[in-house]
Amino acid sequence: MNEVRPKLWLRVTEIILGLLALIASFFIMVFPVFSLDLFILLIALGLVGLGLARILRGLFSKVLSRIKREFSIVVGFILLVGSLFIFLNPSIATFLSFWILAAILSALGLVRIFIGALTKNYPQKLKYTLVILGTITLLLALMAFVLPLTIGYLVIYLLAIGLLTAGIGRITLGLFGFK
């Protein structure tokens, strides 16, 4: 069977995004306190921006129906209240963010395992890499579920390592491509 590789720009993009994930992972490992504070602040600021955008869309949009405009305004206020909650309760937001990230990484690990095990059009070494990285990601995410109360900063490192495996996965996909 002839091997068909994706376009060069897609492979380069995969490699660049993988490298960005590696850089972010190393930054988190080197500056865990700063990374955690920045992460929580970015979540809160992101929610403020999204909330204001929804409210403005609801107030001024001419293309949305009345119900969609009202819904947009309500969602915008919910996002603003969520951001206020994060600003006022950063430790609770931190704990919840650990659980959310661990859940996302668990899903990512499972998806990698299933893709590596079930996809027929990937090269064998890519399939093995995906299963191994998926297993590591899943194990680290499961550890993050068990340990957040007792070793909070270990969770940051575990999630950073999960991001590291995600970056390696992107780079591997960019280098080896598809079959």
Backbone angles phi, psi at 134, to 5 degrees: -65, -40
Give tens-digit pLDDT for 39-88.
Answer: 777 778 888 988 899 899 889 888 878 998 899 899 999 989 988 988 88
Q: What pLDDT, on the 0 to 100 scale, is given for residue 34?
A: 74
- Over 70: is that where the pLDDT of 19 sits? yes
Could you give the CA distance from residue 73 to residue 78 in angstroms, rounded to a whole number? Answer: 9
Please write down the long-range contacts of 94-97, taking CB distance under 8 Å and 24 or more positions apart. 94/36, 94/40, 94/152, 95/148, 95/149, 97/39, 97/40, 97/43
Give tens-digit pLDDT for 115-140.
Answer: 899 988 888 998 999 999 999 989 88
Please write down the long-range contacts of 109-112, taking CB distance under 8 Å and 24 or more positions apart. 109/134, 109/135, 109/136, 109/137, 109/138, 109/139, 109/140, 109/141, 109/162, 110/134, 110/138, 112/137, 112/169
Give tens-digit pLDDT for 143-164.
Answer: 878 876 555 677 677 778 888 8
pLDDT band at 93 (very low <50, low <70, confident <90, very high): confident
**Cβ(157)–Cβ(32) below 8 Å:** yes
